[in-house]
Amino acid sequence: MAENYDVIIIGSGPGGYVAAVRASQLGLKTAIVEREHLGGICLNWGCIPTKALLRSAEVLDHANHAKDYGLVLEGKMTADVKAVVARSRGVSARLNGGVGFLMKKNKVDVIWGEAKITKPGEIVVGKSSKPVVEPQNPVPKNIKGEGTYNAKHIIIATGARPRALPGIEPDGKLIWTYFEAMKPAALPKSLIVMGSGAIGIEFASFYRSMGVDVTVVEVMPTIMPVEDVEVTAIARKQLEKRGMKILTSAKVTKIEKAADSLTAHVETADGKVQQITADRMISAVGVQGNIENLGLEAVGVKTDRGCVVIDGYGKTNIAGIYAIGDVAGPPMLAHKAEHEGVVCVEKIAGLPNVHPTDKGKVPGCTYCHPQVASVGLTEAKAKELGRDIRVGRFSFAANGKAIALGEDQGLCKVIFDKKTGELLGAHMVGAEVTELIQGFVVAMNLETTEEELMHTIFPHPTVSETMKEAVLDAYGRVLNA
Ligand SMILES: Cc1cc2nc3c(=O)[nH]c(=O)nc-3n(C[C@H](O)[C@H](O)[C@H](O)COP(=O)(O)OP(=O)(O)OC[C@H]3O[C@@H](n4cnc5c(N)ncnc54)[C@H](O)[C@@H]3O)c2cc1C
C-alpha cells in the first residue's frame, strides 16, 4: 500500500529542502523526492561552487597586487586550476552532505528517483533519468525508492536548467553551460561569454582572474541588464580595467566550430558583424523551469512561459498542488526559493498572518569583481512607474575603509519616494556590497523612512558608512563629500 504523507516535495534544492525542514518543524509528516543531488543546483552547480571559485580568483587577484599593499611576492602567483576546481567541488560536497544530515535530523523521508504527479494527492517515483556521476555527491543511505506515494499537499520544487539559443546550443565541448564552466579540466586561453546576467558575468570575472582572455557579448545596451545603469557602468569600467572585453547591444548570430576552437559571428548595433575566435564559449543566456515529465498537463496545472503559475503563497490552480523556487518563475534566486518554501508550508499548516512573498523586496547579488548588489526599484524603473523620487549617491572614493582596503572604486545609490520618504531602491557596486545590501533589505522590509536611516548609527570605519552617506546625500546633508 502507498505510504501517506502530509507534504511531499519534489526537488531538494534550497526551495525544497528548506520547505521540508519547516514542514517538519510544523509537525507535518514530510517526504522529499530527489533524482540527482541533495541541495539542488544551488549547492552543487550554482551559488556555492561559483563562490568557491570566485574566492580563489579573489585570493589570486590580491596576491598579484601584493605590491600595492607594500608586500613582496617573488614572481607571479599562478593558479593550479585542478586544485581550484577540487576545492570548489569539495565545498559543494560538504554542503550536499549537510542537507542529508538536515533531512535526517528533521525526520524528513528522502525518496530517491524521478517523481511524476499522477493525480492530486498522488505521485509515482520512477528510476532517475539523471544518474549520480559525482563520487563526492553520493546517493544518501537509508532512503526510500521507487513506488507510489500519497500526500495531502504536493509541492513542486524542481528548479531550472540552462536555456539554449537555437543554432548555438551548448555541446559540452566547445560551447559550455555552467556545468562545464564549473569544472574545467584545463583553462582555455580565450573565452567568449554569451550573456552578462549574474551567471555570465561571474564566470567572466573568474576566468579573467585566472588569466584567460575573456570577451563578454551582451544583447542589451548594458551589462547585468536588470541592475541600475549607473552601477553597471562603474562595474563595466572596472571589469574592462581588468582586461575584460565587453560588447553590448551585440548579438551572437552564428558559430563556426573547429577542432579545438570556435568563431562567433557577433552583430553589433551598427549592423556590422565581427568574428571573434576563442577556445571556448559559455552560453549564459538564462535558465528555464523544469516543468516537463511531471504530469502537469494531465493534472491540469497551469504553466506560463516554462514556469508553473502560482499565487503569493505558492498555490497553483489545482487544489493540493503548489510550486516554489525557480520552477515558479523569476527572480530565479536561491533566497527567493527558500522564502517561497517557508511561506508555502506555513500557509499549508494554517499558521495565522502568513504574508505572501513580495518579489519587489528580493535582493540580487552578483559576486564578480567588483561586486554588485541591489534591492527594489532602479532609478529608471521608479521613473517609468511615475514615482516622484529623490536620489542619493556616495562614492567609495570618499570612504576611509574602502581606501584602506585598496578598493576605492564603488558607489552606493539610494532612491526614496519624495513625498513619503519610503526607501524604494538601493544599488551598490564595490567591495563587500553583497554583504552590505542586507542592511537596506531589512530597512525596506520594515518600511523605514529616510529619517530613521539618518538616525541610525553606522560603525566606523566600515564600507557600510557609504550607505548612510548616500541617504544623507538624497536630502542634501552629506557629511564626507
Ligand atoms: C552558476 C549559477 C550560479 C548561481 N548563483 C546564485 C547566487 O549566487 N545566489 C542565488 O541566490 N542564486 C544563484 N543561482 C540560482 C540558484 O541556484 C537557484 O535559484 C536555486 O538553486 C533554485 O532553487 P530551487 O530549489 O528552486 O531549485 P534547484 O536548486 O534547481 O533544485 C531542484 C531540484 O529538483 C530536482 N528535480 C527536478 N525534477 C525532479 C523530479 N521530477 N523528481 C525528483 N527530483 C527532481 C533536481 O535534481 C534538483 O536537485 C545560481 C545558479 C547558477 C546556475
**Does the Cβ of 16 fall within 6 Å of ligand 1?**
yes
Write out the three cell numbers for 224.
Answer: 547585468
43 Cβ neighbours under 8 A, 6+ residues apart: 13, 14, 37, 92, 95, 96, 99
- CA dist 472 and 390 (Å) reads 11
Model-level pTM?
Answer: 0.97
Closest C-alpha to ligand 1, atom 48: 40
Peptide bond preceding 188 in cis form (omega within 30 of 0): no
**Does the Cβ of 294 fall within 6 Å of ligand 1?**
yes
pLDDT at 111: 96
**Does the Cβ of 332 fall within 6 Å of ligand 1?**
yes
- Give residue 14 CA to ligand 1 midpoint distance, Å: 7
Q: Which of 22, 47, 345, 434 to mutate to test the pocket of ligand 1 (most atoms within 8 A of CB)?
A: 47
Do 50 and 56 contact (CB within 8 A), yes or no? no
Query: CA angle, corner 7, sides to 4 and 10, nearest 5?
Result: 105
- CA dist 116 and 37 (Å) reads 17
Each residue's pLDDT tens digit, 291-302: 999 999 999 999
**Does the Cβ of 199 fall within 6 Å of ligand 1?**
yes
Instruction: Tell me the catalytic residues.
Output: 460
Each residue's pLDDT tens digit, 162-205: 999 999 999 999 999 999 999 999 999 999 999 999 999 999 99
Closest C-alpha to ligand 1, atom 21: 42
* C-alpha pair distances (Å), 182 with each of 33, 44, 179, 369, 424: 25, 10, 5, 18, 36
Query: CA angle, corner 322, sides to 11 and 311, nearest 5?
Result: 130
- CA dist 320 and 299 (Å) reads 11
Q: Which of 41, 99, 366 to mutate to test the pocket of ligand 1 (most atoms within 8 A of CB)?
A: 41
183 Cβ neighbours under 8 A, 6+ residues apart: 85, 88, 89
- CA dist 121 and 8 (Å) reads 9
Q: Kindly give the parts of the chain with pLDDT less than 70.
A: 132-139
How do the residues of the chain divide into helix, strand and coil, expressed in percent and rounded to 5? 35, 25, 40
Q: How many CB atoms lie within 10 A of CB 470?
A: 25
The two most distant CA atoms of the chain are separated, in Å, by 72
Measured torsion, CA atoms of residues 428, 430, 436, 439, in degrees rounded to the nearest 10: -20
H/E element, 383: helix 379-384
Side-chain half-sphere CA neighbours of 463 within 13 A: 25
Give the DSSP letter of residue 94.
H
